[in-house]
Amino acid sequence: MALSLGLEFRRECATAIGDSPVVITGAGGWLGQAVLEMFAAAVPLSQIHAFGSAARVQKLRNGMSIPVQPLTTLPALTAREAIVFHLAFLTREHAGNMPLAAYTEANRAISGTVEAFIRQHGARGLFVPSSGAAYIADPVHNPYGALKIEDEWRFAALGRELGFPAVNMRVFNLSGPFINKLDSYALACIIQDLLANRPVTLHAGRPIWRGYAHVADVLNIALGLILNGSSPPVFDTWGEPIELSTLAERAAALLHKPLTIERPEWQNGAADKYLGNAAAYLAHAEACGVKPASLDQQILDTAAYLSA
């Protein structure tokens, strides 16, 4: 299968970046790897400053490489008025493997490092992804969601105080290149089963509804709003709602694969719906000239990445 990643910034946005420095934290995660590729296709690598949990060299699709520095070195960077994509965060998996106090302290330290950098050097604009988990935030039972809300407030207030656009989306379900957690994300599991010509295994005995947004659309909207000087209230990502069995059927048809679904007997229980609100997402997409990818295209782009 040809590798069709669909990872580009809109031409108008790529041009409007100009010579602004670009700072990316969390460069090793899903959003981080995707946006690193997108910025690398839009500006010279010398403009890009990437940070992660540890030092390494990241190879790009075009064969070039870019250094990724530890986030602890961010205070030494002197780039002024950068476009900042702050994607570093210890996810909910870490919350289950660390003492609550340590998890909370670690995430607040990450956010504090980025805030201090912006206070010292300013920012042309900032994107900080939140999560749909923020809707069920609880400092004890869902510290991930609670800390995401803290970041929403922290960085929105920082943008107002210092006068730069701050964009925050509550990310629900993503699709597309650099998808990770291949053993837990439903879309990745379904596609991998199909590509391996094995039955699609779904573990839930109740309806599971998801709606996917292409990672490139999310990042194009974020950059578009920054370059437009917009600081909208926090809003959700959105995609066509679909139940997982139907998603498997859709993917099998697109990939021309036979389909057998192995799923538990249906049990009584409320449907699990993890779906963002469409209105603001679609309005911001239109304002930024972004036509969100169809679910079919999202499946194909995700499959192309996984098969490669």
**Looking at residue 76, what is its pLDDT?**
97
> What domains lie within the chain, and their CATH numbers?
11-174+213-238+275-292 (3.40.50.720)
Place of tokens 């340590």: 102
pLDDT at 249 over 70: yes
- Over residues 108-146, the pLDDT tens digits come to 999 999 999 999 999 999 999 999 999 987 888 889 999
Provide the token pair at 147.
């800390």
**Looking at residue 149, what is its pLDDT?**
96
Give 49's pLDDT tier (boundaries 50, 70, 90).
Answer: very high
Q: What is the mean pLDDT of residues 215-231?
A: 97
Closest CA to 152 of 138, 168, 175: 168
- Over residues 185-216, the pLDDT tens digits come to 999 999 999 999 999 999 999 999 999 999 99
How does DSSP classify residue 12?
H
**Looking at residue 117, what is its pLDDT?**
98
Give 234's pLDDT tier (boundaries 50, 70, 90).
Answer: very high
Give 2's pLDDT tier (boundaries 50, 70, 90).
Answer: very low
Closest CA to 166 of 246, 229, 103: 229
Average pLDDT of the chain is: 94
The answer to whether residues 74 and 25 touch, using CB atoms and an 8 Å cutoff, is yes
Rounded CA separation 193/259 (Å): 10
Q: What is the mean pLDDT of residues 245-256?
A: 98
In a 10 Å sphere around its CB, with 0-12 CB exposed, 13-18 middle and 19+ buried, how is residue 255 labelled? middle
The secondary structure element, H or E, covering residue 256 is none
For residue 1, give the 3-state DSSP assignment.
coil
Instruction: Please provide the DSSP assignment of 270-284 as one string.
Output: --EEE---HHHHHHH
Q: What is the mean pLDDT of residues 59-82?
A: 95
- Over residues 270-291, the pLDDT tens digits come to 899 999 999 999 999 999 999 9
pLDDT at 255 over 90: yes
pLDDT at 1 over 60: no
Give 5's pLDDT tier (boundaries 50, 70, 90).
Answer: low
